[in-house]
Amino acid sequence: MAALEARNVKVGQELPSLVKGPITKDELKAYGAASGDPNPIHIDEEFAKNAGYPGVFAHGMLSMGYLGEFLVEAGGAPEAVRKFRARFAKLTWPGDVLTCKGIVTAVREEGGARLVDCDIWTENQAGERKITGSATLTLR
């Protein structure tokens, strides 16, 4: 689906969804290395189990990164993303397939640009919402 368009964007409109995954343990290692996150809970099975989890789980910021890609596509360019907030509500596990989704909640004008507020979230293959948040996109 194409990016949102400034001339016809409407409240209630869905953003074009983006599917990522299934997430692998190798991806968690790669993300940990590239993002400089030293927490072994995302890469070391034993460590995760000792901390009381069934195993390693994904970095919240990995899922937020997927939402970043989704917002850039919805807004048409990296410049479009003006505000971006995420709450890490539930854990994401290896094997999860995440779909990034969003809906337009407000459309306003500011300095000749059209600003679009959205609610955004990721959900897994069972339809369970994992991270929820909001964003403001500038459309030109």
Partner 1 sequence: MPSKDMIGRVLSTGSATITAEHVAAFADALGDRNPRYRGPGAVAPPTYPIAFMIEAMSGGMETFLELGLNFMTLVHGEQEFEYTRLLKVGETLSLVGRIGDIYEKTGSSGTLDFVTMETEAKDEAGEVVFYSRNVLISRRA
Q: Which residue, 42 or 104, is less far from partner 1 as judged by CB?
A: 42
Q: Which residue, 86 or 139, is less far from partner 1 as judged by CB?
A: 86
Nearest to 97 by CA among 67, 55, 127, 64: 127
Q: Which residue, 9 or 86, is less far from partner 1 as judged by CB?
A: 86
DSSP state of 62: H
**Which residues of this chain interact with partner 1, rule CB under 8 A?**
20, 27, 30-31, 33-38, 51, 60-62, 64-66, 68-69, 71-72, 77-79, 81-88
CB of 53 to partner 1, least distance (A): 11
Q: Which residues contact 137 (CB under 8 A, 6 or more apart)?
A: 4, 71, 74, 75, 80, 81, 82, 115, 116, 118
CB of 37 to partner 1, least distance (A): 6
Q: Which residue, 12 or 111, is less far from partner 1 as judged by CB?
A: 111
Q: Give the strand pairing for 129-139 and 81-88.
A: antiparallel
**How far from 24 is each of 62, 64, 103, CA to CA, in Å?**
12, 16, 28
CB of 6 to partner 1, least distance (A): 19
The structure tokens listed for 10 are 């409407």
CB of 78 to partner 1, least distance (A): 6
